Structures are given as C-alpha cells and as structure tokens.
C-alpha cells in the first residue's frame, strides 16, 4: 500500500522528468537564458510538491472525517484500542481506506476491489451473510459488514476460536453399550463358553472404546456405561461403528446369537439431561431390533448407524411373562379398555385385538374393540363379515365415536400392531387418551407420536399375534379361546410370515402349535386365505411390469392407467416376486384405491428393506416393509426408490470394504 509520502515522491519525480524535458527543449531550440529558466522551474517544482502534500493531507483528513461520521471519534479510538480493523470502500467496492490495525497485519489492499483483495468475502456482499470467518497466516478474523455505511469491521478471533474448538473437542459425550441376547445366551452355556463370550465379544468392545480414549464401566452383565470426549467420539463416527460387524463375526465363530446395540448423546446443558437421552435412545434402539447405534446431538435429529441384520430372536420368554403381569396391573386399574388396530386393519391386527380382548376378560373389565367404521383390508373384512355372528358372542365391536362417548379418565386404550398416530384407525381416541399402551412387532420410528405409559415392542417376533398368544399363556388363570378366535389369530400369523416361509422363529411354531391346541382350524384358515380369481389375475398383471436392477432387486412399477390395487394385492405381488430365484428384494409400486401411491417390499433375508423404505418415510421389518405417500406419482416414487437402493448399496460397499481391511 502507498502512503502519502510515497505518492508525493512519485508525482514529484514525474513532474521533475517533465520539467527537465521542457528545460532542454527551451535551451537548445529556443536559446533562452538557462539560469532564468532554472530558477522559474525550481520555484514551480517546490510549489507543486507543497501542493501535493497539502492535497493528500486533506484527502487523509476527509477519510478520517468520514470514519468519525460513521463511528464517532470516541468509538473510533475504542476500536483502535481493541485492535478492531475497519475497511472503507466506495460504490464499486474499491477499498479507499483501512485502519492502522490492518496495515500492521499486512492488509495492503487500498485501491483494490475488496472481494478480490480478500478471497472468501463474497458471501458478505452476494448472499448477505451476517459474518464471515477467514484465516490469514496464523490468525483467524471475523469480517462483519456495516448495514448503513460502506464499511467492513474486522476482528481477530483466533483466541476465541481456539477456545471454542478446544471446548467442542473436550465436551462430554455419554453412551450405553448393550449386548443383545446376552443373558438368554449365557443361561444355557457352560462356564468355558461363557468365558469365551466375555473374552472374545465383551472384551472386544471394551478394548474398542479404550482405543478411542473413552472410559467404559459395566453396570449390568449385558450393559456398559461409556464416557468419552467429543473429539474421540467424532473419530468413532467416522469409522461407521465397524465394531458392530466385528462382534457379529465373533458371535458367529462362537455359534451364539449376540449382537451389540449402542446409544450416545452430546451437547445437552446438564449431565442429567444427557443421561436421560442416552437411556431413551437405547430403548429406541432395542425397540428397532438392536444391532445398531443411535446418536443424538442436542437440537438435531437422531442418527442411526448399522441396522444391517435382522432382530435377534429372543430365546427366553421372560419378557413375555413380565409384560403379561405388567399389562394385568394396568388393566386392573382401568375402568374400561378400548382396543385399537391400525388403519386398513389386517388379520394380524384383528387377531391381536381378539387375543388381547380375552386377556381383559380375565380381569372382569369392560372391553371394546374399535372396529366398526374403520378402514379394513378386504380379505380381513370378508373373514370378519363371514364370522361376525360367532365373534359377537365373545367380543363387543364399536366405532370410534361410540368409544369417545364412553371414555373417561381411567379408561385404557390398547394400540395393537402399530405405534404411530398417523397409522392408527382411531386417531381422536388415541390422542385423547391419558392412559395408552402399545403392543407391536414393527421397528419403532424415532418420531413415534403415541404417548404410551407401557410399550411391548418386539421386532424379533414374527407378528403381533405371537406376542399376544404368549401373554395369553402366562395369565394367572387359564384363558379359553374360541376356535374362531384361534383360527383368525392363526391366519394373522400365516399372512405375516408368508405361510411360515419368512420371519419365523422357533417361538412362531410354538404359537402355531398352541393355537392348534386351542382349536384353530388349519383347513379353514387355508381356505380363507386362498387367492380369488381377481387376486390371481392382478398378481400376474403386476409381475409383467417387473424389472430386475443389479441382478437382485425386482421392481414392479404399475402405471395407474393399468389399474389401482389394494395394499393386500401389492403385498401378495411382492411375495410372489421374491420367490423368483436370485431375487433378494422385491418392490411393488402402485396406486391404491384411495389414490395414494404405495410401495410393498419383501426380502429373502439378505437385504434390509426396512432401512431402504425408512429413508423414504416408510417402515416395517428387515424383510417386510411398506410405504404410502400422497402428492407423488408412481414414476416419481420409482425414481426415489432407485436412489434409496443406491444409497443402501453404497453403505453395503463401505461395510464390505471395512470387513476386507479388518
């Protein structure tokens, strides 16, 4: 940057050269008196230099007056004392003046365009950003643009930035580590096997946390408490929690069914709040089936990592017995009970309602199933209508309006086969209820909108009928089930397991045997579930739209011009397509009879369709999921699905690469 003296010297030198040239011309060509001319030109030069000094001094004073007008003299002195820099620019963003502080820091930018002289200031002018932080040499500066005057204020925030970064790196992150199915496994193993499990699985996770300089302490045999700083936790995040796969591999080598669930929370104002959030996140992880990590930073949405395997089967029935006793206590304290299935209720939802209604009767409480005037899946409606005279001998079916009129503050609402308000068949009733419980087998979403006092959510179960049937077996008194109830419950289990071909566990077959013992008519069930001619034709028509992506994804996007279908038909078609050899996941996209666009997805166990559809706002199970959306077309939904599949495959590739490196 040129100061006032430098400018005067340059202009004086230029003037001297011009005068010398004129002097030579006058002497040699005009033969004038040299001494006289020299005196004249010397006087002119001195006068010119004095003028230049006066001119630039006035220019400096005008700038200072301008600064004083913007800030005021006292404010200007204070900013200089506080080492706050000031940049003044004109209408074309050309820098006309900078403060002494910036001159001392090497900002030689006077006369240059501001956004070119300092790279990165564009957002201040083009995007109206409130401030911009830039680094120059070893210093970090905060640039703020004046709203009313052509000025930019510059503050050295290096020390503040370093303190903030240190705080962010060192602030406390709390976590929990839970070994899924650990207690159930060690109960049936010998001491040597238990020692191997502790050494090769539990100790592996303990060592992993220690590698990131975290502190881990056991609080229960299957649960550990973790304290780690933010900087080390960020390294954990970047690793993608590959420890989950390492634990699964170690468990497979030991031939045990143990996985790992984790939850972490950070950024909360108190340790109490952070600890409460960590426990809440762990409940959410376990409700989603485990084998994953949930992390929440204060003020942000929950992030999930993992979810690459199915929920582990719970071999122990301890929880079913505990939940049966817990629900019994809640029922005893209730004046009446209202049982609510999900919208477009299917046979699993209806069967779960019938079974839980029998549980309530053991406690001599008034019980009602909210089933009148709700949306019911066509096949379920047909079976319900055909057996209504037998059903009403043991159950009372009412509408949501009737339930609202009979409800009081001590009434209990039981939400069956779902856990979200947008899926329920009686939203007003559920929203009004002050005492609500949930029985469900779907992975919980992180935004569940039902405020429940008690939740029995078991993603490892094949269906809700399985959960209710087990609770029926742990009642304080023997509970008799009508053969029609048992047959409908058996149908619900068959539908949700694709006739026992998918999502089954040993407990699923035990429930089948128990229902048969209670009078379930398996022949009648198979007849009820046979396809109609229309169902058969629709499945064939949908399968004609099938395309295979990457050799393992089957997608059938049905043009609405070719027809609308109910959700059952879409689900049946997805089941039909997944039976094709080498197909690992099937997706049927179509428009429903209500005008919504829906996806029904199925997997053979190698692809997690629940994760894929959850990215799009849907949900369900590892190998059975669904989605409904309004305001979109089938073509748009197909494009969105392909993007979600690509993201899933990219995540798979990252995990495979991590496995190779390990």
Q: Which is nearest to 461 in space by CA: 313, 259, 321, 317?
A: 313
Q: What is the pLDDT of residue 608?
A: 87
pLDDT tens sequence across 122-151: 888 877 778 888 888 788 898 998 877 888
Classified as helix, coil or strand, 568 is helix
Contact 421, 387 (CB under 8 A): no
Q: What is the pLDDT of residue 9?
A: 55
Cα–Cα distance for residue pair 443/288, rounded to 1 Å: 4
pLDDT tens sequence across 254-280: 988 888 999 999 988 889 999 999 998
Q: What is the pLDDT of residue 3?
A: 45
What does 470-517 look like in DSSP terms, one character per residue?
HHHHT-SS-----HHHHHHHHHHHHHHTTTTTSS--HHHHHHHHHHHH
41: pLDDT strictly greater than 80: no
pLDDT tens sequence across 416-472: 999 888 889 999 999 999 999 999 988 776 556 678 888 888 887 889 999 999 999
Contact 441, 463 (CB under 8 A): yes
Cα–Cα distance for residue pair 63/53, rounded to 1 Å: 15
Mean pLDDT for the chain overall? 83
* pLDDT band, very low/low/confident/very high, at 415 (cuts 50, 70, 90): very high
Residue ranges of alpha helices (H) inside 113-217 are 114-117, 122-126, 158-170, 182-186, 191-197, 203-211
Count other C-beta atoms under 10 Å from residue 314's C-beta: 21
Q: What is the pLDDT of residue 660?
A: 43
74: pLDDT strictly greater than 90: no
11: pLDDT strictly greater than 70: no
401: pLDDT strictly greater than 90: yes
Q: Which of 27-36, 57-66, 407-416, 472-481 has the lowest mean pLDDT?
A: 57-66
117: pLDDT strictly greater than 50: yes
Cα–Cα distance for residue pair 25/476, rounded to 1 Å: 126
pLDDT tens sequence across 486-515: 999 999 999 988 888 877 888 899 999 999
Please name the residues in contact with 124: beta carbons below 8 A apart, sequence gap of 6 or more. 131, 132, 143, 145, 152
How is the chain split among helix, strand and coil, in percent rounded to 5? 50, 20, 30
Q: What is the pLDDT of residue 131?
A: 86
pTM above 0.75?
A: no
Q: What is the pLDDT of residue 4?
A: 46
Cα–Cα distance for residue pair 521/488, rounded to 1 Å: 9
Q: What is the pLDDT of residue 263?
A: 94
């Amino acid at each position: 940057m040129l100061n006032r003296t430098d400018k005067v010297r340059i202009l004086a030198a230029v003037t001297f050269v011009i005068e010398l040239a004129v002097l030579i011309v006058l002497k040699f060509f005009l033969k004038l008196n040299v001494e006289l001319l020299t005196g004249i030109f010397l006087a002119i030069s001195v006068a010119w230099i004095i003028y230049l000094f006066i001119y630039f001094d006035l220019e400096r004073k005008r700038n200072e007056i301008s600064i004083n007008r913007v800030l005021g003299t006292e404010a200007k002195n204070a900013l200089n004392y506080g080492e706050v820099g000031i940049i003044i620019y004109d209408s074309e963003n050309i820098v006309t003046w900078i403060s002494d502080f910036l001159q001392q820091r090497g900002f030689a930018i006077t006369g240059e365009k501001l956004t070119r002289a300092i790279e990165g200031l564009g957002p201040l002018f083009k995007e109206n950003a409130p401030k911009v932080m830039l680094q120059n040499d070893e210093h970090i500066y905060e640039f703020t643009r004046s709203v009313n005057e052509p000025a930019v204020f510059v503050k050295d925030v290096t020390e503040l930035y370093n303190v903030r970064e240190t705080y962010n790196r060192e602030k406390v992150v709390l976590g929990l580590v839970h070994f899924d199915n650990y207690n159930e496994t060690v109960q049936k193993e010998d001491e040597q096997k238990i020692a191997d499990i502790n050494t090769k699985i539990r100790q592996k996770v303990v060592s992993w946390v220690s590698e990131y300089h975290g502190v881990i302490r056991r609080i229960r045999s299957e649960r550990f408490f973790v304290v780690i700083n933010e900087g080390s936790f960020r390294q954990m995040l970047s690793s993608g929690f590959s420890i989950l796969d390492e634990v699964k591999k170690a468990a497979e080598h030991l031939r045990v069914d143990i996985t790992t669930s984790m939850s972490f929370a950070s950024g909360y104002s108190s340790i109490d709040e952070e600890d409460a959030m960590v426990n809440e996140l762990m409940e959410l992880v376990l409700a989603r089936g485990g084998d994953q990590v949930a992390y929440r930073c204060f003020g942000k949405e929950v992030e999930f990592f993992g979810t690459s395997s199915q929920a582990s089967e719970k071999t122990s029935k301890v929880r079913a017995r505990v939940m049966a006793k817990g629900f019994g206590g809640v029922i005893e304290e209730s004046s009446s009970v209202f049982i609510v299935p999900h919208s477009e209720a299917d046979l699993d939802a209806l069967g779960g309602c019938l079974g839980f209604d029998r549980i309530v009767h053991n406690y001599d409480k008034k019980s009602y199933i909210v089933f009148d005037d709700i949306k019911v899946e066509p096949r379920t409606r047909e079976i319900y209508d055909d057996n209504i005279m037998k059903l009403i001998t043991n159950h009372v079916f009412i509408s949501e309006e009737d339930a609202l009129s009979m409800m009081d503050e001590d009434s209990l609402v039981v939400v069956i086969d779902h856990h979200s308000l947008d899926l329920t068949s009686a939203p007003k009733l559920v929203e009004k209820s002050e005492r609500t419980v949930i029985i469900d087998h779907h992975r919980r979403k992180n935004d569940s909108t039902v405020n429940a006092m008690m939740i029995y959510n078991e993603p490892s179960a094949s269906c809700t009928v399985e959960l209710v049937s087990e609770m029926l077996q742990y009642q304080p008194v023997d509970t008799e089930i009508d053969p029609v109830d048992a047959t409908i419950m058996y149908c619900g289990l068959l539908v949700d397991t694709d006739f026992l071909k998918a999502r089954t566990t040993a407990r699923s077959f035990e429930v089948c045997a128990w229902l048969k013992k209670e009078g379930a008519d398996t022949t009648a069930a198979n007849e009820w579930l046979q396809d109609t001619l229309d169902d058969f034709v629709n499945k064939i028509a949908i399968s004609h739209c099938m395309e295979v992506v990457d050799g393992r994804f089957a997608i059938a996007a049905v043009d609405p011009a070719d027809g609308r279908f109910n959700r059952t038909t879409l689900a049946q078609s997805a089941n039909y397509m997944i039976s094709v050899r080498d197909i690992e996941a099937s997706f049927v996209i179509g428009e429903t009879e209500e005008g919504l666009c829906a996806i029904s997805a199925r997997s053979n166990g190698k692809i997690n369709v629940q994760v894929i559809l959850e990215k799009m706002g849907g949900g369900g199970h590892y190998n059975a999921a669904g989605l409904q959306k309004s305001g979109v077309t089938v073509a748009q939904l197909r494009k969105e699905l392909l993007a979600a599949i690509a993201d899933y495959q990219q995540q798979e590739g990252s995990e495979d690469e991590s496995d190779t490196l390990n």
